[in-house]
Structure 1
Amino acid sequence: MIRTLVVDDDYRVARIHAASVDRMPGFVCVGQAHTAEQARQSVRELAPELLLLDIYLPDEDGISVLRGLNAQGGDGGERTDTGVAPDCIVVTAARDLGTVRAAMQLGAVYYLVKPFGLRQLRNQLEAYRLWRQHASGDGEADQETVDALYSLLRGPATQPGNLPPTMRKVLEAVRSSDEPVAASTLAERLGISRPTAQRYLSELHRRGALELHLEYGNAGRPVHRYGPA
């Protein structure tokens, strides 16, 4: 479960966002804070992995909190006991580009401008969950993997514009097909390997962008074919 702390000076908004977090699979809201000082204390005591952070707080702005989270020296008071700062999605009515730039420079993984619908918040949380899942582990990343990780943070994970190039081609090919297609057919059509096609098809199905059709023959395992969800 992704431990999430909601920081917002508006108690009603904080409760709504906290409830949205708790309804998201893979997330749990571990607390709410309404001032910068409460946010610092909650980070120390609750060790969240993700902040939903407002900019307009009564005692300090959220940028100061974010700057403290990323400080390498000083007292490091906002850090958790592990010394690792939580990730941050800024959730705010602040629209000036200076604030947006500062949040990006300080490592905010996304910036949601109020007002927004709860569906948009849920979409961004899901994008963040997928990003964490794909970014975990060791090993090396090629350029397509890097592009995919960045694209996952830019919004709903099944919009073609937010997908890495090959995955986008796979999705578009399935959507343009007159009937559900198998990985082998798609691989030949796109000039990619069958394992690559199957990997992307499986991932798009897991994200809810494609529907799986099982075609049973006379014997053996069923053929997996995919069509638009």
Structure 2
Amino acid sequence: MSHDFTVLIVEDDFHVGRLHAGFVNAVPGFRALPPAPTAAQALNVIHAQAPDLVLLDVYLPDATGLDVLRRIDVDAMMLSAASDPETIRKALRHGALAYLIKPFSAQLLESRLRGYLRYRRLLAETGTLSQDRLESAWQALHPAAAATGPRPGSATETAVLSALAQGGDQSTADVAKAVGISRTTAQRYLQGLADDGAVVISLRYGATGRPEHRYSAAKP
């Protein structure tokens, strides 16, 4: 993606809001707006600046986060100490993409944000989606419980993306040579990035008639 996703944190505790903003800003691809301490201020910011994602507390001084959730047409996740089943069911029923119960780690929030980034990539295409791609987008938002930290091999993944960013479609061998990894490893990373929507696969037919897979960075 060529731009950072803007994130509004709705949190009445100044210190907690600043802490969560720091968590958000530490994840590549995201930029936190100044936190909003009330529901009224949150609605004003949402209407004026149209953030990509809202992180909502349930307990606010002038309304509940659930009230805000019902009134906005913006992607949202709940970050709250409210852990009763009824509140969680209401939040999910009204469209929350995730629910994190306080206190949570920076790694857990990072995992959800990275999943959201993949979700947006997968749903950025025009036209219709296949069921498999829809399933991939849904699973990106709900990673396995064990996968709460950065994905293993993220440095290699970044190197593969950097190689593709040089422009043009490239073969597995091209990427392997540029990054300094085996073709098998390059193929694994390229396929994973394609599943996430960060890489586009095309076919090129050579003289033998056998198609060769070519890879390019997805357009933002």
Q: TM-score range by the shorter chain?
A: 0.5 to 0.7
Question: For the structure 1 residues 157 and 182, does the alpha-carbon distance in structure 2 shift closer, same or farther, using more than 3 Å as the test?
Answer: farther
Say whether 1:105 aligns with 2:107.
no
The one-letter code sitting in structure 1 at the alignment partner of 2:136 is A
Paired residue secondary structure (2:40) = helix
Paired residue secondary structure (2:96) = coil
Q: Deviations over 1:149-178 (max 9, x none)?
A: 11000136994xxxxxxxxxxxxxxxxxxx
Question: For the structure 1 residues 205 and 107, does the alpha-carbon distance in structure 2 shift closer, same or farther, using more than 3 Å as the test?
Answer: closer
Which residue, out of 47, 50, 58, partners 2:50? 47
Q: Deviations over 1:30-81 (max 9, x none)?
A: 2210111111111122221100110011111100001111xxxxxxxxxxxx
Q: What residue number does 1:23 align with?
A: 26
Q: Which runs of 5+ in 2 are unaligned?
A: 148-181, 196-220
Q: Which runs of 5+ in 1 are unaligned?
A: 70-84, 160-179, 184-196, 208-229
Paired residue secondary structure (1:107) = coil
Greater RCO structure (CA 8 Å; 6+ sep): 2
| Equivalent-residue separation in structure 1 for 2:194 and 2:123 (angstroms) | 17
The one-letter code sitting in structure 2 at the alignment partner of 1:151 is Q
TM-score between the two structures when normalised by the length of structure 1: 0.63
The one-letter code sitting in structure 2 at the alignment partner of 1:45 is A
Which residue, out of 118, 121, 130, partners 1:142? 130
Question: For the structure 1 residues 203 and 91, does the alpha-carbon distance in structure 2 shift closer, same or farther, using more than 3 Å as the test?
Answer: farther
How many residues matched?
158
| Equivalent-residue separation in structure 2 for 1:203 and 1:102 (angstroms) | 37
Question: For the structure 1 residues 147 and 157, does the alpha-carbon distance in structure 2 shift closer, same or farther, using more than 3 Å as the test?
Answer: farther
% same residue: 35
Question: For the structure 1 residues 156 and 51, does the alpha-carbon distance in structure 2 shift closer, same or farther, using more than 3 Å as the test?
Answer: farther
TM-score between the two structures when normalised by the length of structure 2: 0.65
Say whether 1:155 aligns with 2:143.
yes
Question: For the structure 1 residues 202 and 157, does the alpha-carbon distance in structure 2 shift closer, same or farther, using more than 3 Å as the test?
Answer: farther
Deviation at 1:141, TM superposition (A): 2.1
Q: What residue number does 1:93 align with?
A: 81
The one-letter code sitting in structure 2 at the alignment partner of 1:18 is A
Paired residue secondary structure (2:119) = helix
Which residue, out of 120, 131, 143, partners 2:108? 120
| Equivalent-residue separation in structure 2 for 1:156 and 1:133 (angstroms) | 19
Say whether 1:11 aligns with 2:14.
yes
Q: What residue number does 1:182 align with?
A: 184
Larger radius of gyration: 1
Question: Is the Cα contact below 8 Å between 1:2 and 1:28 reproduced in 2?
Answer: yes
Paired residue secondary structure (1:33) = coil
Question: Is the Cα contact below 8 Å between 1:55 and 1:62 reproduced in 2?
Answer: yes
Question: Is the Cα contact below 8 Å between 1:30 and 1:46 reproduced in 2?
Answer: no
| Equivalent-residue separation in structure 2 for 1:134 and 1:157 (angstroms) | 21
Deviation at 1:107, TM superposition (A): 1.0
| Equivalent-residue separation in structure 1 for 2:145 and 2:121 (angstroms) | 13
Q: What residue number does 2:70 align with?
A: 67
